[in-house]
Amino acid sequence: MEVGELIFIGFCSLAAINALFFIGYLIIKKNKNNVASITLSVFLVITVYRILQMLLHDLQDDFNIGINLKSFFFFTPTFLLIGPLLFIYLKSISIKDFKFKITHLYHFLPFVFFLFFDLLNKHNFPLIPDNKKYYIIYCIQISIFLIHLFVYLKFSFEYIKELILKYKSDSFPKENLNPYYIRNIALFISIIWIIYLIYCFQTYFKIYLPTRVLEAIYYSFLIYLILFYELHDQKITFISNFYVRYRNSGISKEDSLNYKSIILEHIQKNELFIDHNITLGKFAKEISLTTHLVSQIINEQLGCNFNDFINSYRIEKAKKMLKDPEKNNYTVASIAYDCGFNTLSAFNTAFKKFTRITPSQFRSIAE
């Protein structure tokens, strides 16, 4: 076995093991978005299965593995789960108080249908078909899989487009949700569709392409990417920006909304965010609330921590100053200081987090 194959096996195997540990982490984690965590766990199970399937298929001769791969074939419909899981995940992290309903199970009916279809015909369907009748049926089946995910991706991008339009409007609270993060999720899933499209062409025209290896590598890459996002700032399992729960809170929903209004009114009216020494404790004292209560309201109602909450207002003020022709002689550092930032590096980091571009780039575009 060559070094490249060993690296491939190690890369994919380690990704699969990490995915299983991450699923366990999602199960025991308390502060999480339950619906999003469950859909993500199911998706990770699919990735682990697909990686295992690819490794067994391509390496069984090298390792003399005596496994009948026909027993794995009837799991092919797992591809039909990706679209519904994407749909439910996007809804769960963008809709306030989203709950999984019985009607959502309808999205999984195609998977159930093809699962039973393949189970009933698994003995007649070898992995590499030799008969023309099977070949035609198999081509139709994989084409349906391809169209199925394409439809979900189409509706997902249309939904994300609506979120972006709302995000750009002045009435949309910028500290609540970043739809560009949601768009990135759909883009990563789109690459799976492209890989499967290549696989379909391979089947249609009976040519060999390394799609199985490519799929295993990409699924492994997705796992590492998910782990990075989670370990970096818990973007994957963090309670959704609109996902508000009062189950374990002593505050009623009405009181929570009132406190939210007090916080927003005070921060906007007095511009406390330009204070370089503003802290959660200092801000809570200003509005005569406890630090715990303020932190809870900001986290649950606004979907962010206190630092991001303050920085969102600082960045909005900085954007106005950068676009103001009368302040063209202001340096980026002076604008950063006037908006409440203590250092230029902190300003650049926060600005890029909220706008995806640097302050200098923003000023150039505005001009």
CB within 8 Å of 305: residues ≥ 6 apart = 295, 298, 299
Give Cα separations from 99 to 36, 144, 159, 189 (angstroms): 10, 29, 18, 23
pLDDT of residue 170: 46
Q: If you average pLDDT over every residue of the chain, what do you get? A: 80
Cα–Cα dist 198/162, whole Å: 30
- pTM, full prediction: 0.61
pLDDT category at 83 given cuts 50, 70, 90 is very high
Contact 356, 181 (CB under 8 A): no
pLDDT of residue 258: 87
Give Cα separations from 27 to 24, 35, 40 (angstroms): 5, 12, 11
pLDDT category at 55 given cuts 50, 70, 90 is confident
pLDDT category at 355 given cuts 50, 70, 90 is confident
Cα–Cα dist 294/290, whole Å: 6
Report which secondary-structure segment, H or E, holds 324: none
Contact 300, 274 (CB under 8 A): no
Residue with tokens 């969102």: 312
112-142 confidence digits (pLDDT tens): 998 888 777 666 555 455 567 777 877 888 8
| Domain-wise residue ranges, the chain | 3-233, 250-303, 310-367
Q: Span 3-233: which CATH code?
A: 1.20.1070
Task: Say yes or no to pLDDT of 324 above 90.
Answer: no
Helices (H), the chain: 3-28, 34-63, 70-73, 82-94, 109-120, 132-168, 179-205, 211-233, 253-270, 280-286, 291-302, 306-323, 332-338, 344-355, 359-366
pLDDT of residue 67: 53
Fold of the 310-367 domain: Arc Repressor Mutant, subunit A (1.10.10)
259-305 confidence digits (pLDDT tens): 889 999 888 888 888 888 888 888 888 888 888 788 888 887 887 88
Contact 162, 90 (CB under 8 A): no
